[in-house]
Amino acid sequence: MKARRLIASLVFSLFFCEAALAVNLDNNDPKGYAVKIRSGASTLNSSINGNTRQVNVCSSCEIEVVGAGIAKVSGPVTVVIKGGRLSVRK
Protein backbone atom coordinates (compact mmCIF):
# COMPACT_ATOMS: atom_id res chain seq x y z
CA MET A 1 0.00 0.00 0.00
CA LYS A 2 2.85 2.41 0.80
CA ALA A 3 4.50 1.67 -2.55
CA ARG A 4 1.26 2.46 -4.35
CA ARG A 5 0.96 5.80 -2.55
CA LEU A 6 4.59 6.62 -3.32
CA ILE A 7 4.12 5.89 -7.02
CA ALA A 8 0.93 7.95 -7.12
CA SER A 9 2.62 10.90 -5.44
CA LEU A 10 5.59 10.72 -7.84
CA VAL A 11 3.32 10.68 -10.89
CA PHE A 12 1.33 13.59 -9.43
CA SER A 13 4.53 15.56 -8.75
CA LEU A 14 5.95 14.96 -12.22
CA PHE A 15 2.71 16.07 -13.84
CA PHE A 16 2.64 19.35 -11.93
CA CYS A 17 6.36 20.02 -12.42
CA GLU A 18 5.90 19.69 -16.19
CA ALA A 19 2.88 22.02 -16.10
CA ALA A 20 4.85 24.55 -14.06
CA LEU A 21 7.48 24.70 -16.82
CA ALA A 22 4.93 25.10 -19.59
CA VAL A 23 4.57 27.87 -22.14
CA ASN A 24 1.09 29.33 -22.59
CA LEU A 25 -0.17 31.36 -25.55
CA ASP A 26 -2.69 34.18 -24.99
CA ASN A 27 -4.40 35.95 -27.88
CA ASN A 28 -5.76 39.26 -26.62
CA ASP A 29 -6.72 40.35 -30.14
CA PRO A 30 -10.24 39.84 -31.50
CA LYS A 31 -8.95 38.05 -34.61
CA GLY A 32 -7.37 34.63 -34.95
CA TYR A 33 -3.86 33.83 -36.14
CA ALA A 34 -1.99 30.96 -37.77
CA VAL A 35 0.66 29.59 -35.38
CA LYS A 36 3.81 27.53 -36.00
CA ILE A 37 5.38 25.83 -33.00
CA ARG A 38 8.93 24.56 -33.58
CA SER A 39 10.60 22.20 -31.15
CA GLY A 40 13.78 20.47 -32.26
CA ALA A 41 13.35 19.19 -35.81
CA SER A 42 9.53 19.17 -35.71
CA THR A 43 7.05 21.92 -36.54
CA LEU A 44 3.39 21.94 -35.52
CA ASN A 45 1.11 24.11 -37.67
CA SER A 46 -1.85 25.32 -35.64
CA SER A 47 -4.04 28.34 -35.05
CA ILE A 48 -5.45 30.37 -32.20
CA ASN A 49 -8.85 32.05 -32.19
CA GLY A 50 -9.37 35.62 -31.04
CA ASN A 51 -9.51 36.33 -27.29
CA THR A 52 -8.50 32.80 -26.29
CA ARG A 53 -5.72 31.01 -24.40
CA GLN A 54 -3.81 27.84 -25.20
CA VAL A 55 -2.10 26.23 -22.21
CA ASN A 56 0.91 23.91 -22.15
CA VAL A 57 1.89 24.66 -25.74
CA CYS A 58 5.44 23.45 -25.05
CA SER A 59 8.13 23.57 -22.39
CA SER A 60 10.82 25.03 -24.67
CA CYS A 61 10.18 26.02 -28.30
CA GLU A 62 10.00 28.71 -30.93
CA ILE A 63 6.51 30.12 -31.50
CA GLU A 64 5.76 31.96 -34.72
CA VAL A 65 2.47 33.79 -34.86
CA VAL A 66 2.08 34.58 -38.55
CA GLY A 67 1.79 38.34 -38.97
CA ALA A 68 2.71 39.09 -35.34
CA GLY A 69 6.25 37.78 -34.80
CA ILE A 70 8.47 35.00 -33.47
CA ALA A 71 9.48 34.22 -29.88
CA LYS A 72 11.99 31.66 -28.60
CA VAL A 73 10.75 30.67 -25.15
CA SER A 74 11.25 28.28 -22.26
CA GLY A 75 8.62 27.91 -19.53
CA PRO A 76 7.16 29.00 -17.32
CA VAL A 77 6.13 31.97 -19.48
CA THR A 78 3.15 33.24 -21.43
CA VAL A 79 3.47 34.48 -25.00
CA VAL A 80 0.93 37.27 -25.51
CA ILE A 81 -0.52 38.51 -28.79
CA LYS A 82 -1.83 42.05 -28.38
CA GLY A 83 -2.25 44.74 -30.99
CA GLY A 84 -0.81 42.45 -33.66
CA ARG A 85 2.51 42.04 -31.77
CA LEU A 86 4.10 39.38 -29.61
CA SER A 87 5.43 39.84 -26.12
CA VAL A 88 6.63 37.40 -23.47
CA ARG A 89 5.33 37.64 -19.90
CA LYS A 90 6.85 35.73 -17.00
The number of domains in the chain is: 1
The predicted structure's pLDDT at residue 21: 78
Can you give the CATH number for the domain in which 53 is found?
Answer: 2.60.40
Question: At residue 74, what are phi and psi to the nearest 5 degrees?
Answer: -135, 135
What contacts 77, CB < 8 A, 6 or more positions away? 23, 24, 88, 89, 90
Domain that holds residue 82: 2-89
Using one digit for the tens of pLDDT, what is the confidence trace for 41-88? 999 999 999 999 999 999 999 999 999 999 999 999 999 999 999 999
Contacting residues for 53 by C-beta, under 8 A, at least 6 apart: 24, 25, 26, 27
pLDDT at residue 62 in the model? 98
- The SS3 assignment for 50 reads coil
Q: What is the pLDDT of residues 3-22, one digit of tens each?
A: 555 454 444 444 444 455 79
Greater model confidence, 2 or 16: 2
How many CA within 13 A on the CB side of residue 76? Answer: 7
